[in-house]
Amino acid sequence: MHDHVPRGGIRAFSNRRLLTISLCLTATVMIVQVIGAILTGSLALLADAAHMFTDASALVIALIASTVAARPADDRRTFGYQRAEVFGALINAIILIVLATTVGVEGVKRLLEPTETEVAGPLMLVVAVIGLIANAIAMWLLSSAQKTSINVRGAYLEVLGDMIGSAAVIVAAIIIVTTGWMPADAIASLFIAVMIIPRAIVLLREVFSVLAESAPANTHVSEIRDHLLALDGVTSVHDVHVWQLTRGAPVFTAHVKVSQQLLAEGRTDELLEHLQSCLIDHFDVAHSTFQIESDAAADCEEAHA
């Protein structure tokens, strides 16, 4: 028996709305930063603008993936299109790695081959503050949705990193304004590059975990089995599998042996309801499939339990 509780259309629509608002904010500030980088000659500001461009691209990808993921299941894709979110997050992670490499190389070149061009610190500071404020707003908008969508989480992590990058640019601008030490600009750009890598790795790990059909984090099969065995009439639970379609969409399957008395009394429907309620109430698993078996049947191999 299957218990299908679809992910709410309201939540999907809300995610797309938040992604759209964040995209508008990011794109606007990106343009401001590009203009500011040209006017000031700041590599750090240009790196932050490039990061904002990547964020904008990531938000577009996330928005498209979120829209595709909202499509209903069909006979060909029986689980629907929720995995589109995972592939969107994978693309985001790859973009982050490419960006970090590009910015890092340019920053090292700037340090090894200093130019005579001075960075306009005051304007650099103003533009960086604008970027920081915009990123803070975008983070606040995405903070709730990122807890249930790996796709939105990818966008959230990029905005988080860009906010830290803006803070680094602010520090570099203050140093340039107060001391005139120009290498601060290149150092800030290197900091942005180094900061991006861990975020990309974290996102890639989560993507690969989902694609490898690993059990969700903090989900323990032994605990689930113990809960199910505690139900009246259940004598054995085996062939247990738990995986995710995407973040916030776990799937559970298991074979459940029941007593002859329960079968004789015709209480299998009642038991199935209790099994599904146990998964929903205690483990937040809304999509569960159980195969009911008689405990008089031959024992099944429990290698996959």
Position 170 scores a pLDDT of 93
Do 145 and 263 lie in one domain? The reply is no
219-246 mean pLDDT? 85
pLDDT at 115: 66
**248 and 118 both lie in a single domain:** no
Is residue 172 located within the same domain as residue 233?
no
Residue 226 and residue 151 share a domain: no
**Whether residues 278 and 161 fall in one domain:** no
Question: Do the beta carbons of residue 300 and residue 255 sit within 8 Å?
Answer: yes
What is the pLDDT averaged over residues 237-257?
Answer: 84
Q: Is the pLDDT of residue 6 over 50?
A: no
- Whether residue 166 lies inside any domain: the answer is yes
pLDDT at 51 (0 to 100): 73
Of 179, 211, 243, the last residue of a domain is 211
Same domain, 181 and 207: yes
* Gyration radius of the chain over CA positions: 25
For residues 90 and 50, the model is more confident at: 90
Judge contact between 285 and 242, C-beta under 8 A: yes
- Do residues 167 and 62 both lie within one domain? yes
- Does a structural domain hold residue 48? yes
Percent of the chain residues topping a pLDDT of 70 = 83
Residue 156 shares a structural domain with residue 288: no
Claim to verify: residue 155 and residue 256 sit in the same structural domain: no
101 within domain boundaries: yes
Is there a domain that residue 234 lies in?
Answer: yes
**How many other CB atoms are found less than 10 A from the CB of residue 45?**
33
Number of domains in the chain: 2
Q: Are residues 230 and 199 in the same domain?
A: no
pLDDT of residue 171: 93
Q: Are 172 and 185 in contact (CB under 8 A)?
A: yes
The answer to whether residue 259 sits within a structural domain is: yes
CATH number at residue 51: 1.20.1510.10
pTM: 0.68
At residue 174, the pLDDT reads 93
More confident residue, 207 or 295: 207
What range defines the domain where residue 259 resides? 221-294
Domain co-membership, 168 together with 238: no
Looking at 181, 211, 241, which one is the last position of a domain? 211
Q: Does residue 66 form part of some domain?
A: yes
* Tens-digit pLDDT profile for residues 179-195: 888 888 889 888 888 87
DSSP letter (8 states) at residue 42: -
Mean of pLDDT values over 109-125: 80
Q: 286-303, pLDDT tens digit by residue?
A: 788 898 888 776 554 444
**Which is more confident, 14 or 76?**
76
Q: Are residues 192 and 262 in the same domain?
A: no
CA distances from residue 181 to 58, 70, 121, 254 in whole angstroms, order as listed: 34, 51, 10, 64
- pLDDT for 149 beyond 70: no
259: CATH: 3.30.70.1350
pLDDT number for residue 194: 83
5 Ramachandran zone, left/alpha/beta (phi>0; psi -120 to 50): beta
Per-residue pLDDT, 117: 62
In the listed set 159, 178, 211, which residue is the last one of a domain according to the structure? 211
- Convert 97-130 to b/e letters by CB count within 10 Å (16 or more is b): eebbeebbebbeebeeeeeeeebbbebbbbbbeb
